Amino acid sequence: MSKKLPSLSRRTLLLAGATVPLAGCQMHYGLNFDTVKTSLAVSTGLENAPGITLEQASQIPYASIGYRIGSSQEYILVLASTIAGSLLWTAADHRALVTANGRVTRSAGFEWNLGETSFAQPDPVQTGLQQMTTNVLLVRSLDLRDIDRFGVSVQSTFTPIGKTKVSILGGDLDVLEVHEDCRCDELDWSFQNVFWADTASGFIWRSVQNIHPNLDP
């Protein structure tokens, strides 16, 4: 798998008035995609660019995150809705991610997708990685509908690495780096997620996350 880091950053202005519910197994969109396409023009024609720039990000009048898959170019998703505490991020090409306090829990529109995530106990990513001082164990289950696997168990160990800094859109942030080493015996799948959490609030400013065995981080 590629080790390029998918940059995840947040802006503060929400997309007002959007209705974007999750229904059944599909994600349905109530966005005005002409507006979104205009605001996302900065994410096209960037195949040789290292990532979204501050100038490009400032053209988008909505809360947004940047992402890349493996070594691909970086794209932007805008915040469409909040759903029971989770955030739904979408783009005009119908790609979408659902996050819960920084953890990707669902996806749609990618070549391979994460259908659902369930936790056997509280997820340290959601309860606050800034509080972590020792290793923590977690068990969760994944639905991977596109390969007909449901309730696939993943065991993981969180290890706090230490305080460091990350640079996002030209700004340096103090963060705690935490590694999540994961093992899925059913699929013979081992992988590592990396989170950079705000040292005060635990907000996830950047992460590397694996959501499907057939998809790069």
Q: Given this model, what pLDDT does residue 169 score?
A: 74
Task: Determine the 3-state secondary structure of 146 from DSSP.
Answer: helix
Q: Given this model, what pLDDT does residue 189 score?
A: 98
Q: Given this model, what pLDDT does residue 60 score?
A: 67
Distance CA 189, CA 192 (A): 10
CA-CA distances (angstroms) from residue 81 to 27, 101, 172?
12, 14, 28
Q: In tens digits, what is the pLDDT along the chain, a chain of 217 residues? A: 444 444 444 332 222 223 233 333 334 444 444 434 433 433 333 334 456 666 666 666 678 888 999 988 888 899 999 988 899 999 888 899 999 999 999 999 999 999 999 999 999 999 999 989 899 999 999 999 999 999 999 999 999 999 999 988 778 899 999 999 999 999 999 999 999 999 999 999 999 999 999 999 9
Closest residue by Cα to residue 7 from 129, 160, 166, 130: 166
Q: Given this model, what pLDDT does residue 92 score?
A: 85
Cut 0.85: pTM above it = no
Task: Determine the 3-state secondary structure of 36 from DSSP.
Answer: helix
Distance CA 74, CA 49 (A): 8
